[in-house]
Amino acid sequence: MFEKIEFINLSFEYEGRKILDNFNLQIKRGEKIAIVGSSGEGKTTLIRLMLRFISPHSGKILVNEKPISEFENWYKMLGVLSQKAHIFNRSLRENLLIANPRASDKEMYEALEKAGLKKFMQTRNLDTILGNEGGFTSGGERTRIALARLLLRKPEIVILDEPLEGVDKLVEKEVIENIRDFVKDKTLILISHRFSILSLTEEFAVLENGKIIEKGKYHEHSEDSLLKQFFKAEQELTEKFRKDDVV
């Protein structure tokens, strides 16, 4: 059972530039935290380190006080929805069963509906072929299929990296509420620039220059904190896009 993950004095460089610099953070079981900051600050790099796609140049990652490389069943505990969801040139059914080979048709249809694909399924079924890299679907549909796959997996730790990428505004609210219900008893690590989905988390960590410089609940921060500046900027950007859509 997952209890906590610790990032201790973690550093990572790419092409001579420090992406993470003496990074420290602890996330405990059941916590729901958003890691926010400008583009290029190392948020996605952090997730790649958690998934062990890359290794830190210094420092360590501990899971339940053991080095992550020695922790058994680490991948079984994780459920990840990244910006670029990989869809196989197979049927929708086969793409979903990757997450849970024992899932029934009913469970798959329920996951697809919760992922905001009710309309999509009106003209398709579980045997629909999705095409190479999901070429027979739109970007938003691919993201939601990957979300349905995550829902079927039922992991202890949920990692969401820009999970609403390409998702239509018309179904965004419904998808967010379904994700909220899904993660209520799980540990959640969220990375997103989309203001609306940040409400899924209870705590925020602001990443700047490769370090966490502010951490805590929103109401605990002063009005001139970087966290509230970030929120204000995101809110203004969201409102601008809404006005542009109306025009």
pLDDT tens-digit series, residues 75-98 = 999 999 887 778 999 999 999 999
- Residue 242's pLDDT band (boundaries 50, 70, 90)? low
Full-model pTM: 0.85
- Residue 246's pLDDT band (boundaries 50, 70, 90)? very low
Q: How many domains does the chain have?
A: 1
Helices 139-153 and 105-114: crossing angle in degrees, nearest 10, is: 130
User: Which value, to the nearest 10 degrees, does the dihedral of the CA atoms of residues 67, 72, 78, 80 take?
Assistant: 70
Could you tell me the CATH number of the domain that includes residue 198?
3.40.50.300
pLDDT for 71 beyond 60: yes
Number of Cβ within a 10 Å radius of residue 240? 10
Measured between alpha carbons, how far is 90 from 110 in angstroms, rounded to an integer?
20
Domain enclosing residue 211, as ranges: 4-246
pLDDT tens digits, 94-108:
999 999 999 999 999
228 or 140, greater pLDDT: 140
pLDDT at 30: 95
* E strand or H helix at 152: helix 139-153
